[in-house]
């Protein structure tokens, strides 16, 4: 009895902590300074000023900045510029160019799957000239990724991945499954980035799969149904997965067109990842048996990387072992990445003036994260250009 009471109290306090924290971390859209806006638009500060005035944009002082534009204001501003000044060309997928579904997975925990998912997604959507339409899917019931971009999903009664997989919804009159799924992808603080969140209730999905196995035509195909429903709405979908080989992970593998395996450069992570790969043929046999057609690319990405002589030696080994499967640029360890993470942001969606330390560490981290995301970007275009 005492334990029951104690556990209930622990739950109550934890709920309180989360709701305080969520109230504290109300995340707003990233704000751009005048210089950042000019850089993004690839125009001079003077030209920017002229058109801000001509178009009557209110570049108000916010967050300690004299001049500011939010990312959606920036997109809106750009769309109203004269055609010769619009340097960004929105990407339009041609017939035959499939939506790229990239899954971040490693059975090892804490290797950077979630930080990499969020960072690559925010970079692909906001930092490239095409303004790619990016979707995030959080398959991990821990819902860390959802804390970045859908912190109020629970409070607002939004659908989670698990709700859709379990069929915990009722279609309104005339509403289709596809429409419900499209609407379940929530708007984030980046206009062309949306997320289908996980909620804590998704933790019980594993037992749901075991209980319902006999009723499912393809137990690995439930997330693929979700992806198929939004295939026309996104150019790239990034799937974050739990550190396990659960039904949801198999579902991620089945829905994905490519896989990135994050790992840290230390003996433990490398051993764990190699042992995991030893098991992949069995995983693949099940997926192929269920009808998967094969991946466009598979890559290893070293994360949280600190450059030391012994780590360089490890990189030498990794490069010799995995050659073209290994991304050559590592996601470097950075105080900025760590701090942004604790503020439920990536280096790309945090307003620079809100960054509490030296701005140089933030801009260095952005340069590295941009290069990391560019490796994925090149692979995606490689598939589309074929």
Ligand X SMILES: Nc1ncnc2c1ncn2[C@@H]1O[C@H](COP(=O)(O)OP(=O)(O)OP(=O)(O)O)[C@@H](O)[C@H]1O
For residue 147 the two structure tokens come to 């804390």
Least distance (Å) between residue 38 CB and Mg ion: 36
Which does residue 312 bind out of Mg ion, ligand X, none, counting CB within 5 to 8 angstroms by kind?
Answer: none
Helices (H) and strands (E) counted in the chain, each on its own, are 15, 9
| 111 versus 236: smaller Cβ distance to ligand X | 111
**Collapsed DSSP state (helix, strand, coil) of residue 37:** helix
| 221 versus 243: smaller Cβ distance to Mg ion | 243
Can you give the binding site for Mg ion, defined by CB under 5 A? 113-114, 144
Distance (Å, rounded) from C-alpha 314 to C-alpha 264?
Answer: 10
Taking a C-beta distance cutoff of 8 angstroms, is the pair 204, 198 a contact? no
Least distance (Å) between residue 74 CB and Mg ion: 30
Least distance (Å) between residue 20 CB and ligand X: 20
Least distance (Å) between residue 342 CB and ligand X: 7
Distance (Å, rounded) from C-alpha 63 to C-alpha 351?
Answer: 9
Least distance (Å) between residue 106 CB and Mg ion: 10
φ/ψ of 308, rounded to 5, equals -135, 165
Q: Is the dihedral of CA 70, 72, 77, 82 positive or negative?
A: positive
Which does residue 341 bind out of ligand X, Mg ion, none, counting CB within 5 to 8 angstroms by kind?
Answer: ligand X
- The helix (run of H) or strand (run of E) holding residue 237 is strand 236-240
Which does residue 333 bind out of ligand X, Mg ion, none, counting CB within 5 to 8 angstroms by kind?
Answer: ligand X
| 194 versus 366: smaller Cβ distance to ligand X | 366
C-alpha distances out from residue 173 to 177, 185, 225, Å: 11, 20, 21
* HSE toward the beta carbon, residue 153, CA cutoff 13 A: 31
Which does residue 115 bind out of Mg ion, ligand X, none, counting CB within 5 to 8 angstroms by kind?
Answer: ligand X
| 111 versus 362: smaller Cβ distance to ligand X | 111
Which does residue 78 bind out of Mg ion, ligand X, none, counting CB within 5 to 8 angstroms by kind?
Answer: none
| 41 versus 248: smaller Cβ distance to Mg ion | 248
| 9 versus 338: smaller Cβ distance to ligand X | 338
Taking a C-beta distance cutoff of 8 angstroms, is the pair 191, 75 a contact? yes
Residue 200, exposed/middle/buried by CB under 10 A (0-12, 13-18, 19+)?
middle
Can you give the binding site for ligand X, defined by CB under 6 A? 109-115, 140, 144, 243, 303-304, 331-334, 337-338, 341
Which does residue 303 bind out of ligand X, Mg ion, none, counting CB within 5 to 8 angstroms by kind?
Answer: ligand X
Least distance (Å) between residue 193 CB and Mg ion: 18
Residue with tokens 């590295």: 368
């Amino acid at each position: 009895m005492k334990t029951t009471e104690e556990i209930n109290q622990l739950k109550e306090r934890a709920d309180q902590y989360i709701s305080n924290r969520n109230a504290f971390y109300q995340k707003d859209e990233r704000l751009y300074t005048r210089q950042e806006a000019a850089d993004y638009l690839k125009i001079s500060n003077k030209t920017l000023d002229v058109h801000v005035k001509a178009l009557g944009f209110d570049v108000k002082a916010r967050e300690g900045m004299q001049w500011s534009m939010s990312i959606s204001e920036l997109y809106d501003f750009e769309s109203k510029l004269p055609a010769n000044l619009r340097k960004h060309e929105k990407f339009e997928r041609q017939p035959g160019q499939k939506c790229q579904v990239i899954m971040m997975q490693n059975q090892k925990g804490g290797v950077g799957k979630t930080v990499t998912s969020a960072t690559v997604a925010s970079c692909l959507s906001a930092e490239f000239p095409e303004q790619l339409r990016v979707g995030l899917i959080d398959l991990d019931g821990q819902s860390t990724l959802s804390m970045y971009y859908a912190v109020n999903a629970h409070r607002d009664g939004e659908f989670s991945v698990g709700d859709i997989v379990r069929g915990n919804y009722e279609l309104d009159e005339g509403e289709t499954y596809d429409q419900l799924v499209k609407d379940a992808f929530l708007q984030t603080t980046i206009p062309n980035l949306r997320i289908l969140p996980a909620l804590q209730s998704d933790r019980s999905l594993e037992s749901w799969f075991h209980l319902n196995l006999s009723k499912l035509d393809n137990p690995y195909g439930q997330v693929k149904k979700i992806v198929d429903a939004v295939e026309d709405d996104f150019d790239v979908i990034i799937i974050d997965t739990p550190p396990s080989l659960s039904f949801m992970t198999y579902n991620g593998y089945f829905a994905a067109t490519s896989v990135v395996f994050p790992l840290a450069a230390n003996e433990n992570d490398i051993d764990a990842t190699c042992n995991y790969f030893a098991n992949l043929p069995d995983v693949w046999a099940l997926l192929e048996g269920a009808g998967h057609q094969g991946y466009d690319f598979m890559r290893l990405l070293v994360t949280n990387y600190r450059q030391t002589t012994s780590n360089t030696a490890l990189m030498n080994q990794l490069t010799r072992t995995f050659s073209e499967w290994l991304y050559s640029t590592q996601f470097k360890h950075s105080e900025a990445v760590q701090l942004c993470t604790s503020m439920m942001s990536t280096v790309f969606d945090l307003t620079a003036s809100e960054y509490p330390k030296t701005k140089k560490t933030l801009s260095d981290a952005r340069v590295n994260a941009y290069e990391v995301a560019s490796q994925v970007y090149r692979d995606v275009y490689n598939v589309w250009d074929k």
